[in-house]
Each structure stands twice: as structure tokens, then as C-alpha cells.
Amino acid sequence: MSAGDGVTPVGRVPAGPTSVPAEPSGAPEPPAPTRPDAERVVLRLARPYLGRLLGAGLLAAATEFAGLALMATATWLLMSAAGRPPLDRLTVAIVAVRALAVGRGVFRYTERLAGHDAVLRMITDVRARVFAALAARREGTDRRTGDALSRLVSDVEAAQDLLLRVLVPGSAAALVGLLAVGGAALISPPAAGVLAVGLLVAGVALPALATRLTRRAADEVAPLRGALAVDAVDLTHGAADLAAFGATDAALAAAEGRAGRLARLERRLAAVGFAVDATGVLVGGLTAAAVVVVALRAGVGGVLVGVLAVGTLAAVEVALALVAAARQRTQLRAGLARVADLLTEPAATEPVGVTGPVGVTGPVGVTEPVGAAGPVTGGHDVRFEDVTIRYRAGAAPALAGFDLDLPAGCRVAVVGPSGAGKSTLAAALTGAVRPAAGRVTVGGVPVSEHPADRLPRIVGGLLAEAYVFHATVRENLLLGRPDAGEADLTDAARAAGLLDWVRDQPEGWDTVVGEQGGQLSGGQRQRLALARALLAAPPVLVLDEPTEGLDPAAADAVLDSALAATPAGHSVLLISHRLSGLAGLDEILVLEGGRVVQRGRHEELVARPGWYREQWLRQEAAERGYLALAP
Ligand SMILES: Nc1ncnc2c1ncn2[C@@H]1O[C@H](COP(=O)(O)OP(=O)(O)OP(=O)(O)O)[C@@H](O)[C@H]1O
């Protein structure tokens, strides 16, 4: 990314109705530009399972061939039996029919087993990589939850279908087609020539036609499905706000519009599919008729003509599997392109720990952070050098020429009005946004060069809009440090002012907090997120508005105890609106419009005219008034 390019942080979702009701904002992405190499990217991941896939392909070919041979042998048997020959002349054919009928079932079963075994192994790997890429994505993304979900589920299934529904049956059909022509040539070379033409029409021309007719519509389907997944998330999570603003109908109408378009596209795809299938049946019939005429003219005997006719019908049917494969391939293109895009993004999104356990699911489905194998110890100096961050090209920078030295063990607060750039600072430190100019280093190494699974163990804490999982209090806390014991949980909860509440709950640590902590008050949710950050205790602890939602007295107490609970030698970067409780910090920076306008210790700043002093006096007066009114 060049300096000045817009940077979009990870995990920040444009809030509220902005993204929902208006048709243009929620409109589906334009069809993904097709990547010619998308299939290659996905197939590269299948390499370790090539042997298994090859086996599945051969078994699929054996299944189809057994079916074809069964039809041909059964026809020969029936027609020969009509002439009442001695039974011993039919014995071999009778045994062959039985063997082929049983063999076909066995081949089909083992093919499914081998194919699914290979593909499910591969898909686990692909899903882990896609998940890791989504999780490790540090910049350039404003992907929405629903879209990410859609990538993780349906797009990844495209990779599975590419192998199971396109490559395996497609190559089996091609192989069996060749064998059928070879077999027919043994009876009558001219008839084999006609069969070859019929198979080329069914297996090459028709698939090409199907691809041509459905490509455009198919390319629109995947982004539309992604947009609908986003709609589903917005409509459920934003239901209360939409209702409050009377925007429910508009949002529903927009979503219905997209659903209608998707249905129309799918209908069109189905109609073209039926037409092509019908043409395929016609091609089969015409080819069989032509084979019969040519074979009769070539003087082939009656029984063998019958065998050729039925064999032709069966062979064309096998070749028509290529039409289905082509159709499927067309429909998979957009999904595959989206997966390939994600898997080939530049280094910053390099898959995290794909060789190890990625996103290990905990006891009730809370996903542990990658690499959260215990706290990292040791000093980690943080330095911002002339850092400029711009979210959109041409827009005013969120941070401009920002410098900060945060030696290991130092405690610094960043304060300032709303929109000053405080959270952007934290995002730059955690690698969620990348500076357009300047650099941010931790332990002397630029943030972007830290391995993605290591940085969160050095820098972390309570970030803006911390997520609370639909799990128990214990599980939410253990996310911070999976190996924490009961005493650690108690200490962290006490420091965050959550312990009394936990002890009051009948289920204690096992109290389920609801989706996004919906069964907690705003303050309890904040304390829970703070306790988790304190439990994680990274060497560089970022606390973005740790006391938001707490009343002044509780906020002071929680901030004091949280700072006291931070181990000596660990640095703290505290971001706050409130100026109370900052007296013990080593330095306070006042940000305005992305620039540092004041810096110093609390007692220096309150003594100087400026934003800090004004704000301090205002907050003091307001809080004194609040406390005076409080019962
Ligand atoms: N994801 C984003 N996309 C575009 N602009 C953004 C994004 N996040 C923040 N900004 C802009 O960057 C500027 C700084 O925002 P930031 O969230 O860092 O401010 P803040 O000081 O933390 O504000 P607050 O105290 O209200 O949380 C603001 O002008 C904001 O509109």
C-alpha cells in the first residue's frame, strides 16, 4: 500500500443504519473479477491429497465403466437368449452381469469414501487457512461479519465442490468416453466414429454452451449470497435500532430485493440447465440412432447392433456428466475467486499458525486466540515515530506526525476529544491499521514485521468495542489466558470490580452472559472485558476507555485497581475520556485532530491553560454535581 492510501482497520464494522436501509449502500458487490488462477490456488492446497484424489477418480471411472459394461452385456445376454442358445454359451455373460452389478455398487461406495475422505481433509485445511487469513487480516478490510461468514462457509464449499463435483466426475467421464469409443471400434470402426462425434457433442460442445449461457448469471450469485448474509446479520443484530428509527420496512425491502434478484438468477440458471439437459438427451438418442444405421450399413450382426445402441445411450449419459461438471464449475468461479483472493493476500495476512491448531474451540465454543499459549515476559519498548494514519485517501489524517516513546514499564495516558485519534493509536499498536507514513515499533521491530501469532501476546488488552462471547463468565475470561487458574480469575475479576457480581450469581463463574454479553449491564460487560484484559496481562497493555459505562466513583476505583494489578515492568497505554485517576501516570498526551497538542504529567497539565485544564475543571464540576445528587 502506498503512503496516503486509505487504511481500514480490522473488525470495525460501519455502525448502525448507515449500511442497511439504503439500497446503494447495501447493494451487492459487483461480480468478483474472475481470477484465472483461482482454481490453481485452490488445487495447490489439494496437492497433499493427490494420491487419494487420483484413487477416487479411478474408482469413479470404474463405476461408470461398470455401468456401461453392465448395460452392454445385459443387452447382449437378452438378445442372445431370445435365440435360445445352449445355456453354457450364456454362462459367462450371466456371471459378468452379476459381477458388474455388484462391482458397480462397490466401486461407487469406495469412490465416495475415498473422494470425501480426501476432500474433507483438504477442506479442513482450507477452512483453517481462510479463518486465519480473516483473523490475521491487518488492513485493507471492512469486510462485514456476514460476508466473512459467507466466505468461511459457502465459498470454502466451492473448493470442495470443485474436486468432488467437477474434477473427479469430469475426468472419470472423459476416461470412460475414450474406453467406450475403443470398445465400439472393436465391433465397428465407423460406428465408433459416430459415437466419438456424439460424445464430443455431449462432452465438449454442450458443456461449453452451458458455460457460455450461465457464466454471467453465475458470477452474480456468489456476491449476492454474500450480500444476503450481510443483510441477515444486519437485520437480526440491528433489529431494535431499525425498529426505533422506523427503518425496518426499508431494510426488509432492500433485503427482499436482493433475495428476489438471487431467486431470478437461480431460476434462470435452472432453466438453462434444463434446456441443456434436454438437449443432451436428444443428442444421446440421435447418436444411438446414427450408430445403429452406420453399424447396419457396415454389416454388423443384429445382437451387436443392439449392444452398440444401448452402449451408446449409456456412454452419452456418462459424457453428459461433463455438462453438469461444467455448469458446476461456472457456478463455483466467483466463490473460488473470493477464497483465492483471501489466501493470496500479501504477507500481512499470512495464515496464522495453519500448521498448528487454528482457532481451537474451547469447551463451549469460545475460540481461543491463535498462539495464546501463555503470557510473554520481558521488556518491550514501544515507539511511534512520526506516524501518520489516514483511513481514506484525501481525508484528514486520523493521526498526523505522532511521536511517542513508551519504554517498558512506563504508563502513559492518551486523552482528547472524540474523534481525536485515540483509538487509532491503539489500532496502530496492535497492527489493526498500518501507518501511511512513519513507523510503530515494539521492541525495536516494526509492528508489521512481528509474526502475527506473536504480536497479540506482546500487545493487547481492552480494545474499543471489546467483544463478549455468548459463553460463561469463566470462558470469556479464559480467552485472555487459557491456562489461568481459579485464583487468577478471582484476582482479575476483583481488579475489574466484577468479583462481587460473580459471587452473587447462582451459577458464579459459570453464568452465561448472553449473545454479545446481552444479559449483562453495560458496566458489567465493560468490567468483564477489562478483567479478561488484565488476566491476559500482555507486556504492553492497551486499555481503551476501560471505565466506560461506569459511574464516576466506580470508574475511579476500577481504574486504580486495574493499574495496581498490572505487573511491574509491564507498560500501559491508557486511552480515556475521563481525566480522573491519571495523576499516577508517567505521561499524559492530549490529542486533538490527530496531533499532540499538550503533553506532560497530570499536575503540570492542570496548572497550564489548555484543553486538559479546561476539561479537568469541567469534569470535576460535573462529577461533584453528580456525586452531590447521588443518594
Ligand atoms: N474505520 C474507520 N474508517 C474511516 N474513518 C475512521 C475509522 N475509524 C476512525 N475513523 C476516523 O478517524 C478519526 C479518529 O478516530 P478514532 O476512533 O481514533 O478517535 P477517538 O479519539 O478514539 O474517538 P472516540 O473518543 O470518540 O472513540 C475520526 O475522524 C474517525 O472518524
Q: What are 107-120's pLDDT values in tens digits?
A: 999 999 998 998 88
- Confidence bin at 629 (pLDDT 50/70/90): low
The domain boundary, picked from 317, 344, 371, lies at 344
CA-464 nearest atom, ligand 1: 27
- Confidence bin at 144 (pLDDT 50/70/90): low
Residue 16 Cα, ligand 1 centroid: separation in angstroms? 15
Query: What pLDDT sits at residue 626?
Result: 62
Mean pLDDT of the chain: 81
Domain check: are 306 and 413 in the same one? no
CA-420 nearest atom, ligand 1: 21
Query: What pLDDT sits at residue 621?
Result: 83
Domain check: are 324 and 393 in the same one? no
- Confidence bin at 504 (pLDDT 50/70/90): very high
Could you tell me if residue 30 is inside a domain? no
Domain check: are 311 and 407 in the same one? no
Residue 398 Cα, ligand 1 centroid: separation in angstroms? 7
Could you tell me if residue 361 is inside a domain? no
> Helix, strand, coil shares of the chain as percentages rounded to 5?
60, 10, 30
pTM of the model: 0.58
Among 10-19, 265-274, 332-341, 378-387, name the most confident range. Answer: 265-274
Domain check: are 338 and 388 in the same one? no
Residues with CB under 6 A from ligand 1: 8-9, 12, 391, 398, 416, 418-424
Per-residue pLDDT, averaged over 214-227, amounts to 81
Q: Specify the CATH number for the domain of residue 254.
A: 1.20.1560.10
Could you tell me if residue 16 is inside a domain? no
Determine which residue's CA is closest to atom 16 belonging to ligand 1: 421
Task: Give the H/E segment covering residue 105.
Answer: helix 91-136
CA-416 nearest atom, ligand 1: 21
Determine which residue's CA is closest to atom 31 belonging to ligand 1: 419
- Confidence bin at 341 (pLDDT 50/70/90): confident
Per-residue pLDDT, averaged over 182-186, amounts to 93
pLDDT at residue 440 greater than cutoff 80:
yes
- Confidence bin at 630 (pLDDT 50/70/90): low
Query: What pLDDT sits at residue 6?
Result: 39
Could you tell me if residue 456 is inside a domain? yes
Residue 17 Cα, ligand 1 centroid: separation in angstroms? 18
Domain check: are 394 and 326 in the same one? no
Residue 382 Cα, ligand 1 centroid: separation in angstroms? 22
Per-residue pLDDT, averaged over 319-323, amounts to 90
pLDDT at residue 281 greater than cutoff 80:
yes
Determine which residue's CA is closest to atom 13 belonging to ligand 1: 398
pLDDT at residue 397 greater than cutoff 80:
yes
pLDDT at residue 5 greater than cutoff 60:
no
CA-8 nearest atom, ligand 1: 1
Determine which residue's CA is closest to atom 25 belonging to ligand 1: 418
Task: Supply the range of the domain harboring residue 112.
Answer: 38-135+147-344
- Residue 173, CA distances (Å) to 185, 286, 314, 320, 586 in order: 18, 20, 11, 8, 73
CA-421 nearest atom, ligand 1: 18
Mutate to test the pocket of ligand 1, among 402, 423, 463, 578 (most ligand atoms within 8 A of CB): 423
Domain check: are 339 and 392 in the same one? no
Express each pLDDT in 581-626 by its tens digit.
888 899 999 999 899 999 999 999 999 999 999 998 988 887 776 6
- Judging by DSSP bridges, how do beta strands 437-442 and 540-544 pair with one another? unpaired
Domain check: are 537 and 599 in the same one? yes
Q: What percentage of the chain reaches a pLDDT higher than 70? A: 85
Residue 576 Cα, ligand 1 centroid: separation in angstroms? 14
Per-residue pLDDT, averaged over 272-283, amounts to 92
pLDDT at residue 36 greater than cutoff 80:
no
Per-residue pLDDT, averaged over 9-30, amounts to 35
User: ∠ CA 453-456-460 to the nearest 5 degrees?
Assistant: 175
Q: At what angle do helices 552-565 and 522-536 cross, to 10 degrees?
A: 10
Give the long-range contacts of residues 161-166, CB within 8 A, separation 24 or more: 161/328, 161/332, 162/39, 162/42, 162/43, 162/329, 162/332, 162/336, 163/46, 163/53, 163/115, 163/118, 163/119, 163/122, 164/115, 164/116, 164/119, 165/324, 165/325, 165/328, 166/325, 166/328, 166/329, 166/332
Tell me if 167 sits within 8 A of 60, measured CB to CB: no
pLDDT at residue 367 greater than cutoff 50:
no
CA-12 nearest atom, ligand 1: 1
Per-residue pLDDT, averaged over 18-30, amounts to 36
Could you tell me if residue 86 is inside a domain? yes
CA-575 nearest atom, ligand 1: 22
The C-alpha atoms of residue 586 and residue 571 are separated, in whole angstroms, by 10
Domains in the chain: how many in total?
A: 2
- Confidence bin at 631 (pLDDT 50/70/90): low
pLDDT at residue 149 greater than cutoff 70:
no
pLDDT at residue 269 greater than cutoff 90:
no
The domain boundary, picked from 344, 374, 395, lies at 344
Per-residue pLDDT, averaged over 217-222, amounts to 80
Query: What pLDDT sits at residue 135?
Result: 67
Residue 383 Cα, ligand 1 centroid: separation in angstroms? 21
Q: Retrieve residue 511's grid coordinates.
A: 453464568
Residue 621 Cα, ligand 1 centroid: separation in angstroms? 28
Domain check: are 339 and 386 in the same one? no
Query: What pLDDT sits at residue 569?
Result: 86
Domain check: are 406 and 500 in the same one? yes
Least confident of 181-195, 320-334, 534-548: 320-334
Tell me if 575 sits within 8 A of 553, measured CB to CB: no
- Confidence bin at 190 (pLDDT 50/70/90): very high
Query: What pLDDT sits at residue 392?
Result: 83
Could you tell me if residue 365 is inside a domain? no
Q: Retrieve residue 213's grid coordinates.
A: 449461457
Domain check: are 183 and 78 in the same one? yes
Mutate to test the pocket of ligand 1, among 388, 424, 463, 544 (most ligand atoms within 8 A of CB): 424
